[in-house]
């Protein structure tokens, strides 16, 4: 899909585009050659030669994409190119692996790096929200339930609730694991064991060595048809976009001219209209809100694919994951970056909030019994929890 239809996609450049996927695939193949040394199946010289070939192989990405159709995935044609580039060490390329091992591990690498970027921007957003919560701890505002005025609250408590949502998302991301994939042709790891022979006895070292080389988690069993690793990543990223979507929705409501309690920070060249020069549109909130509406369907696609991962190798369910995961990674990275900027620049008008409380109270439209209650204590609790969560 063109970046023209994904405003802000430049923020996620290199997250899961073709060049990033290719680089991850080559990293896996290079790391596997080193893992074969640990398993006693390849020599140090062969591993070095494969690594050099992976670093220097000339790949025509459009041509590789076309060639991928013949095998149903890009690994098969890439392995052929890499074996040619490795020369007499070509036999050590991809030895004992299957295409899904390489592509799954490459996608996990991309996901791990994307999650780290999302977390970093969530921390930026959370820190800014903590400041807002403390600054406006006692600034009274009208609370709304089912779209109608209800009782007084404080803007500090509203910001603290946003902060708690971001904290929940960070905790979900921190709970993720990023496993390598290694099962061989049908998940039995038989070929590598045969190559190692009865006297080598080191084939079980390959998966941990691969995990160590890539900074991923080793697994006892391959997960070709158990897709919880990827659905978990999708769910955690969607938890993040959900939390950010709530912030965007509230900012859009509170920033309407007839409400005018908050507004996005003004940035030169942003928010203009093609026909109405007087307008300053809340573009970041709009884009964050749009992303929050897209992410759940992408995570749902991962679950739909997981439910159809039959036999020892899925017949299309695996393939259906790729575009959904790639898009979700890009979307989450973009959205977290936009939301961090949105929150950092948010402008709050306590006077407008107070005047609305006064008017609503005078008209009898606001129940002021108990006033703001323990709002301040809840703000303190939320900001303390955030400090523990952010690390």
Q: Does 369 score more than 90 pLDDT?
A: no
What average pLDDT does this structure show over 280-297? 95
Stretch 353-378: mean pLDDT: 89
Phi-psi region at 222: left, alpha or beta (left = phi > 0; alpha = psi -120 to 50): beta
The residue ranges of every structural domain in the chain are: 6-390
CATH number of the structural domain 6-390: 1.20.200.10
Verify whether residue 273 is a known catalytic residue: yes
Confidence check: pLDDT of 273 > 60:
no
What's the chain's length in residues?
A: 391
Query: Cα(330)–Cα(16) distance, rounded to whole angstroms?
Result: 7
Active-site position among 11, 134, 313, 390 = 313
pLDDT single digits (tens) 192-235: 766 655 544 466 888 999 999 999 999 989 999 999 999 999 99
Instruction: Give the DSSP letter of residue 9.
Output: G
The per-residue pLDDT for range 151-168, each reduced to its tens digit, is 999 999 999 999 999 999
8 Å CB contact between 200 and 148: no
Backbone angles phi, psi at 348, to 5 degrees: -115, 140
Q: Which residues pair with 347 in a beta bridge?
A: 263
**Given the residues 256, 273, 293, 377, the one annotated as active site:** 273
Is 313 annotated as catalytic? yes
């Amino acid at each position: 899909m063109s970046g023209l239809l994904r405003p802000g996609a430049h923020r996620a450049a290199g997250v899961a585009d073709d060049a990033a996927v290719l680089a991850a695939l080559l990293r896996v193949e290079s790391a596997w050659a080193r893992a074969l040394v640990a398993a006693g199946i390849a020599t140090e010289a062969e591993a070095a030669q494969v690594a050099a070939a992976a670093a220097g192989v000339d790949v025509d990405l459009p041509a590789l994409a076309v060639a991928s159709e013949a095998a149903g995935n890009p690994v098969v044609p890439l392995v052929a190119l890499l074996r040619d580039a490795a020369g007499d060490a070509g036999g050590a390329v991809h030895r004992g692996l299957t295409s899904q091992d390489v592509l799954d591990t490459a996608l996990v690498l991309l996901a791990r790096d994307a999650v780290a970027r999302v977390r970093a921007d969530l921390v930026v957003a959370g820190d800014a929200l903590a400041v807002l919560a403390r600054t406006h701890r006692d600034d009274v505002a009208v609370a709304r339930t089912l779209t109608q005025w209800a009782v007084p609250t404080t803007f500090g408590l509203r910001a603290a609730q946003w902060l708690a949502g971001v904290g929940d998302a960070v905790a979900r991301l921190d709970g993720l694991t990023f496993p390598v994939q290694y099962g061989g042709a049908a998940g039995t790891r038989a070929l590598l064991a045969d190559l190692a022979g009865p006297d080598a006895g080191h084939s079980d070292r390959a998966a941990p060595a691969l995990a160590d080389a890539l900074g991923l988690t080793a697994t006892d069993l391959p997960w070709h048809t158990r897709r919880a690793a990827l659905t978990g990543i999708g769910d955690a990223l969607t938890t993040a976009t959900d939390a950010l979507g709530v912030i965007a929705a509230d900012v859009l409501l509170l920033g309407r001219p007839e409400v005018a309690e908050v507004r996005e920070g003004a940035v030169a060249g942003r928010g203009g209209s093609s026909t109405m020069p007087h307008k300053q549109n809340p573009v970041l909130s709009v884009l964050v809100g749009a992303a929050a509406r897209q992410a759940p369907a992408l995570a749902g696609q991962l679950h739909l694919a997981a439910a159809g991962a039959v036999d020892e190798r899925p017949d299309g369910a695996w393939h259906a994951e790729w575009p959904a995961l790639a898009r979700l990674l890009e979307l989450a990275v973009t959205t977290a970056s936009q939301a961090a900027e949105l929150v950092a620049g948010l402008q709050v008008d306590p006077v407008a909030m107070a005047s609305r409380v006064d008017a609503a109270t005078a008209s009898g439209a606001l129940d002021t019994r108990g006033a703001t209650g323990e709002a301040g204590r809840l703000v303190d609790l939320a900001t303390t929890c955030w400090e523990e969560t952010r690390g």
